[in-house]
């Protein structure tokens, strides 16, 4: 996290915190049926929209991964840093992704034992997850933990990333355009026959444009800082761009919510708007990195930064915990169907979020972080005593360019 603050990219840590918040809100709404409502001066504020459209947080995660992974390559391409070797890249991705994933996968398999029959089917599903190909099959463990499909997309992207990074650093516009074209072509091909068949729509080609938007934002940020003298002069302009991107993102959430109950509405919305949503998020992150200090502090506020630190483990565990609590009557409800008990909804959400956050914090700090230290990674957890690192006046022009080393 210190490296992010010193390099002025802490806004993307804030966006990561926002992404996990959206995903948790969506699954909380899905399991509890609680729809928040808020009125001000007789005007209904649409606070329920993020709950119904929070699945778009996954799109943000993919965009942020593209940014984080490509940032050091962009610095190297423009003479400002050193990119990781393939060996270093693979080692760091392994220690960041696999141990925590193995822990969550083991717990999910045990929780699925009573639901997935026969035993061979459960073992087959576990094998698919171990090989990170679960997105190509009907996920039998999805009834217990529905988020693992995106890990397959992420790891598959890692396999082709070194080649993509090499090409993108040399020809960013043509390579980025090819990635966008490939993704859109794949999605429209799938739409002809398989729009609602997840093993078809949840394949890596369908998300290449999202990763490309993040990679493009990384290249643009490094290019602007390297080629535009005294770029801080344009902070007001970038602040306006960030505000416009924020408004655009809220508008996109609203349009996705408008088709939430339309048959295949979500799938058709993603077909037409995924690229636009990813581009809007990339512009928001890029502009926020160059915006006025007050806006950067809003985007990279302590709450979102903290959620960004624990986001990976919170992502892996929250549906498992929330589903287990719901299926086992924790907390107990006053009605046969807990969804008919308004009090149960509030207690379920409060206790569920507390449990998910507690588990995620414990695994991040007592399992993931010590393992990351064995690969000689720098500390990544947010240090409350060094909050001043996020203030622009603490960064100097002579500070060495840094490499971002903490994707989700």
With respect to residue 404, please indicate whether it lies within any of the assigned structural domains.
no
CA distance 176 to 168: 7
Q: Tell whether 402 is covered by a domain.
A: no
Q: What is the pLDDT of residue 379?
A: 39
Q: How far apart are CA 371 and CA 381, in angstroms?
A: 13
Asked if the structure places residue 408 within a domain, the reply is no
Q: What angle do CA 52, 349, 303 make, to 5 degrees?
A: 80
Q: Report residue 72 as tokens.
A: 């050091």
116's CB contacts (< 8 A; 6+ apart) are 122, 125, 140, 141
Per-residue pLDDT, 231: 96
Task: Give a yes or no: residue 26 inside a domain.
Answer: yes
Tokens of 393: 């006046």
Burial (0-12, 13-18, 19+ Cβ within 10 Å), 250 = middle
Tell which residue, 178, 260, 180, 216, has the closest CA to residue 73. Answer: 216
| pLDDT at residue 376, as a whole number | 54
pLDDT of residue 375: 61
Number of domains the chain is built from:
1
pLDDT at residue number 390 = 41
Whether residue 73 lies inside any domain: the answer is yes
In whole angstroms, give the CA distance from residue 9 to residue 24: 24
The pLDDT, as a whole number, for residue 295 is 98
> Is residue 160 assigned to a domain?
yes
376 burial type by CB count under 10 A (0-12 exposed, 13-18 middle, 19+ buried): exposed
Structure-token pair, residue 348: 């379920």
* Domain housing 269: 2-394
Q: Which residues of 310-342 are buried (b: 16+ CB within 10 A; e: fewer)?
A: bbbbbbbbbbbbbbbbbeeeeeebeeeebeebe
Q: State the SS3 of 183-229.
A: HHHHHHHHHCCCCCCHHHHCCHHHHHHHHHHHHHHHHHHHHHHHHCC
Q: Does residue 151 fall inside a structural domain?
A: yes
Taking 3-state DSSP, the helix, strand and coil percentages for the chain, each rounded to the nearest 5, stand at 75, 0, 25
Q: What are the per-10-residue average pLDDT scores of the chain (408 residues)? A: 62 97 97 90 88 97 97 90 84 95 97 87 94 92 92 98 97 98 96 92 97 98 96 97 98 97 95 97 98 97 97 98 94 94 96 98 95 60 40 39 40
Beta bridge partners of 336: none
From CA 36, how far away is CA 46, in angstroms rounded? 9
Helices (H) and strands (E) in the chain, counts: 16, 2
Q: What is the pLDDT of residue 143?
A: 84
Rounded CA separation 38/32 (Å): 18
Predicted confidence at residue 408, as pLDDT, reads 44
Q: Is residue 400, in this structure, part of any structural domain at all?
A: no
């Amino acid at each position: 996290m210190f490296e992010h603050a010193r390099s002025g990219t802490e806004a993307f840590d804030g966006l990561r915190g926002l992404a996990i918040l959206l995903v948790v809100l969506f699954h909380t709404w899905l399991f509890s049926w609680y729809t928040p409502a808020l009125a001000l001066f007789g005007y209904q504020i649409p606070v329920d929209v993020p709950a119904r459209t929070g699945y778009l947080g996954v799109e943000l995660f993919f965009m942020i991964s593209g940014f984080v992974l490509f940032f050091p390559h962009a610095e190297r391409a423009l003479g400002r840093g050193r990119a990781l070797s393939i060996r270093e890249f693979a080692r760091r991705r392994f220690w960041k992704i696999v141990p925590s994933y193995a822990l969550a996968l083991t717990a999910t398999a045990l929780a699925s034992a009573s639901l997935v029959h026969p035993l061979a089917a459960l073992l087959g599903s576990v094998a698919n997850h171990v090989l990170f190909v679960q997105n190509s099959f009907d996920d039998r463990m999805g009834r217990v933990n529905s988020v693992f499909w995106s890990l397959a997309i992420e790891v598959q992207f890692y396999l082709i990333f070194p080649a993509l990074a090499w090409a993108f650093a040399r020809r960013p516009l043509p390579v980025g355009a090819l990635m966008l074209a490939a993704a859109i072509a794949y999605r429209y091909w799938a739409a002809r026959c398989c729009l609602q068949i997840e093993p078809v729509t949840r394949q890596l080609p369908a998300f290449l444009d999202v990763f490309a938007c993040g990679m493009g934002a990384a290249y643009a940020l490094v290019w602007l800082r390297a080629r535009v003298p005294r770029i801080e002069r344009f902070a007001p302009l970038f602040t306006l761009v960030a505000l416009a991107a924020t408004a655009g993102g809220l508008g996109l959430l609203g349009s996705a919510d408008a088709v939430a109950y339309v048959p295949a509405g979500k799938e058709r919305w993603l077909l037409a708007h995924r690229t636009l949503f990813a581009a809007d998020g990339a512009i928001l992150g890029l502009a926020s990195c160059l915006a006025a200090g007050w806006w950067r502090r809003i985007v990279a506020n302590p709450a979102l930064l903290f959620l960004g630190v624990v986001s990976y483990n919170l992502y892996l565990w929250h549906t498992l915990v929330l589903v287990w609590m719901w299926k086992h009557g924790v907390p107990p409800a006053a009605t046969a169907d807990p969804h008919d008990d308004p009090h149960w909804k509030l207690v379920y959400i409060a206790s569920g979020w507390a449990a998910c956050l507690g588990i995620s914090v414990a695994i991040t700090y007592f399992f993931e972080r010590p393992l990351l230290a064995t690969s000689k990674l720098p500390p990544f957890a947010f240090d409350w005593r060094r909050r001043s690192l996020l203030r622009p006046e603490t960064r100097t022009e002579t500070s060495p360019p840094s490499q971002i080393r903490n994707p989700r």
